[in-house]
Chain A
């Protein structure tokens, strides 16, 4: 990791930086290839393999990933284009393929869209590092492609989930749902995505971020603090919305759209939430975490604090999943450009209030 901290460390260089002809940013930023490890990749891989071994439990716990994959794929309704070759990066159990194959993707629009979204795609390459998870639903009816004969699903097991072994300019779209929050080197992976895309092709992704699982994080922190007198990380550090916009911009994407939505799921108790996270393969894989299971005392205290601090009236507990959606287009000289700032003629406020 190279950090440019020159202005702070070497005060005599302040002046040339400030008075130089070109405006230069003097805050710390990372450049070149960075070696920044937050997550234990092997632990994550093992968790996914184990989660895939529990087929029924895994399918039951797929509600969140299927929902997010559906919301990602809904965004394709707005792109009037055919995509011959599409990459699904971090495919989990092919949740994106499942969402694409769903009939009646948009029954409420005028006219209703009844063809599955998969009709827009010829080949979907589902890339995932866990072989068992990727092939878990190989013969499941939800992944049957008989009703979309022109659609082909190719599974690709990644040797290293942060290195894309694909040719540059070889995909017409890259999708990613619920997996990029485990990537150590997010800028590196985003620029690889940019590189494998053909010019003027979109990247549409969603990942967990920001305040995801803040209830669980705070409850376990308080429980450990009171029981043991110290804390260790149980919930990953996650990217914030602001970071994601900056990252996309820095890795060369154009016409960015970044938005967030919260999905709140109610659970009977903290243990049910933790069991489901485990069945999703979304267990804790932070480097430097305390190894082994959480002690019984901390679990007991954590559940009580969760209820007291965040619990619902009916005795259930809420868990917030904050999904960061991002869309970025690879640069091309012929693509539509955003209009100049301040050039708008109609006020959005009038439009929205007029209705």
Chain B
């Protein structure tokens, strides 16, 4: 059941792609933090889409 040493787990690839988007990630976090007592759906959708676009681009490059 143990995966061979060379395989990279999907979550590791995901983490390394996300790490390239620290600016967008910080902007999204700041938006949530500004009003974290009353978070509702799509409150920070603009910032999230920017973060997701950055992640998708980074994931494609890798």
Chain A contact residues, CB within 8 Å of chain B: 50, 53-56, 222, 225-229, 269, 271-272, 274-275, 296-297, 299-301, 303-305, 307-309, 315
Contacts and interface: CB of A to CB of B under 8 A. Distances in A.
Contacts of B32: 222, 226, 301, 304-305, 308-309
A78 to B, nearest CB: 41
Nearest to A52: B1
Contacts of A225: 39-41
Nearest 9 CB-CB pairs, A to B?
A: A308-B29, A229-B41, A53-B1, A304-B25, A271-B15, A304-B29, A304-B28, A225-B39, A308-B33
A235 B51 CA distance: 25
Contact of B14 (A296, A307, A309, A315): A296
Contacts of A296: 14
Contacts of A274: 11
Contacts of A300: 18, 48, 51-52, 55
B52 A297 contact: yes
B29 to A, nearest CB: 3
A226 B36 CA distance: 10
A309 B25 CA distance: 12
5 contacts: A54-B1, A54-B2, A303-B18, A309-B33, A315-B22
Nearest to A269: B15
A269 B19 contact: yes
B26 interface: yes
Nearest to A311: B29
Contacts of B28: 301, 304-305, 308
A275 B9 CA distance: 10
B43 interface: yes
On chain B, which size bracket covers the interface?
Answer: 20 to 34
B41 to A, nearest CB: 3
A299 B51 CA distance: 12
B36 A272 contact: no
B14 A271 contact: yes
A307 B1 contact: no
Given A272-B15, A303-B18, 8 more contacts: A50-B1, A225-B39, A229-B42, A301-B28, A304-B25, A304-B29, A304-B51, A309-B36
B48 to A, nearest CB: 6
A305 B35 CA distance: 12
Contacts of B39: 222, 225-226
A269 B18 contact: yes
B3 to A, nearest CB: 8
Given A222-B36, A226-B39, A228-B41, A304 B26 contact: yes
B2 A305 contact: no
Contact of B25 (A54, A271, A275, A307): A307
